[in-house]
Amino acid sequence: MAQLVLRPGKDRSLACRHPWIFAAAVERLSGRVRPGDTVDVVAANGRPLAKAAWSPQSKIRARVWTFDPEEIVDNAFFKRRIRAAVERRRLTCELHRQEGLRLIHGESDGLPGLIADRYGDTVVLQLTAVGPEKWRLAIVGALQQASGCTRIYERSDSNVRRLEGLEPVTGWVLGEAPQEALTILENGVRMQVDVVTGHKTGFYLDQRENRRLTRELAKDRATLNCFCYTGGFSLQALAGGASRVLSIDSSGPALATAIGNLALNPQLDGSRAEWREADVFNELRVLRKEGQRFDLVILDPPKFAPSAAHAERAARAYRDINAFGFRLLNPGGLLMTYSCSGGIRSEHFQQIVADAAADAGCEGRILRRLGAPPDHPVALHFSEGEYLKGLLCQVD
């Protein structure tokens, strides 16, 4: 097996069990190795540290499979890791009876570059690095065995694959497309899941508990949902008894799906729902000019800062939309605001929201910090896994 030798002093992060090895930490690579091959990682003094997947084109040169230098990375390794991840979800009470569930969450489940989401009897697989790409067949087999699913669809089409020198790959790898539209029941609301062209793996599973909280908060509240996509927050607000729900998104197809989702739930009062296809930033200005006010505003924008390099520009965008959100609130109103940008840390996001409140001339407080549910765990030594950050704020 090839050996990856680290530069002096560059073994500290591995000693803390961080799974990424950056190019600047590599002294040399000895032996013949291809992208995705497993290499022995050793310190500058030759001390064995880990086994990792080699990625010559990425700034992250290697991703650690195991911190046990003696553990063998083979088909049985992936069978054990995947079975353990699925079992952890099975033993987590609040995940019971969820039809939409993340089964594998990359580094935080000890499987860097591997995402797997379950929607009923269908699992959607996403491989974002050359390591799991090399073990594709073993991963598919282990997923099918551990989950008992009858269908697996691959959505390896994220932009990060290009950083690894990989082309997009999509399609059914087990079973065939269902005859009817795929739907899941979430918090009592039926939702469509488009595993082929929908965002991420077809649905935003990471917002499941925050949508449930929206349902609890929405009673008799006029609600504004910005960047509504297919209506997850909107329908939960209706289910919770919101007096009205205005939903805005720039995507016509997404809004069409949202309206279709409303039709899937005849128990909801559709007369309280309004849908607008518009640029959210512009529409917030329009609402302000119209003098509209709301009791609950939800801001769940797309990723403005995929990395720290984009943080400054993203901060301005987050500040703008949050300032408008605050200005549209009635006294005592609630703002649920989120960032899914990995380049914006939690402390930074809170400061951005605080600055936005100051811009809007608002006084307020944080009632709750919001994040992803337990099927999206964060490894203790991998803070990068905590990408979703949210705040529930109340204004005076």
26, 4 Cβ separation under 8 angstroms? yes
Question: What gap in Å lies between CA 393 and CA 369, rounded to an integer?
Answer: 9
C-alpha torsion sign, points 50, 52, 55, 60: negative
If you search the block for the tokens 């402390």, which residue do you land on? 347
- Where is pLDDT greater, at 343 or 350? 350
Question: What gap in Å lies between CA 340 and CA 69, rounded to an integer?
Answer: 34
Task: Give the list of residues 6+ apart from residue 154 with CB closer than 8 angstroms, or none.
Answer: 124, 125, 126, 127, 169, 170, 171, 172, 173
Mean pLDDT rounded to a whole number for the chain: 95
- Dihedral over alpha carbons 228, 284, 304, 170 (to 10 degrees): 30
Question: What gap in Å lies between CA 47 and CA 39, rounded to an integer?
Answer: 14
Per-residue confidence (pLDDT) for residue 306, from 0 to 100: 64
| Residue 30 falls in which region: left (phi positive, over 0), alpha (psi -120 to 50) or beta | beta
Per-residue confidence (pLDDT) for residue 311, from 0 to 100: 73
- Helix (H), strand (E) counts: the chain: 11, 20
Residue 124 burial (C-beta neighbours within 10 Å; 0-12, 13-18, 19+): buried
From 149, 226, 340, 362, active-site residue:
340
Which amino acid would we find at residue 35?
A: P
Tokens representing 157 are 């089409």
- Reported as a pLDDT band with limits 50, 70 and 90, residue 94 is confident
pLDDT digits (tens, 9 = 90+) for 175-185: 999 888 899 99
pLDDT digits (tens, 9 = 90+) for 1-51: 799 999 999 999 999 999 999 999 999 999 999 999 999 999 999 999 999
256, 226 Cβ separation under 8 angstroms? no
Per-residue confidence (pLDDT) for residue 97, from 0 to 100: 87
79, 145 Cβ separation under 8 angstroms? yes
362 is catalytic: no
Domains of the chain: 3-66 (2.30.130.10), 75-174 (3.30.750.80), 183-395 (3.40.50.150)
In order, the DSSP letters of 269-307 are -GGGEEEEES-HHHHHHHHHHHT--EEEEEE----S-SS
* Distance spanning both ends of the chain, measured CA to CA: 63
Per-residue confidence (pLDDT) for residue 315, from 0 to 100: 86
- Reported as a pLDDT band with limits 50, 70 and 90, residue 309 is low
With a cut of 80, say whether residue 310 has pLDDT above it.
no
With a cut of 70, say whether residue 85 has pLDDT above it.
yes
299, 214 Cβ separation under 8 angstroms? no
Rounded to an integer, the average pLDDT of 49-73 is: 97
Q: How far is CA 235 from the centre of its chain?
A: 20
Question: What gap in Å lies between CA 387 and CA 157, rounded to an integer?
Answer: 19
| 225: helix, strand or coil | strand
Per-residue confidence (pLDDT) for residue 303, from 0 to 100: 79
Q: How far is CA 68 from the centre of its chain?
A: 29
Residue 223, CB half-sphere, CA atoms under 13 Å: how many?
A: 32
Please state, as a whole number, how many other Cβ atoms lie within 10 Å of the Cβ of residue 85: 25
Q: Is the pTM of this model over 0.85?
A: yes
In order, the DSSP letters of 117-152 are EEETTEEEEEE-SHHHHHTHHHHHHHHHHHH--SEE
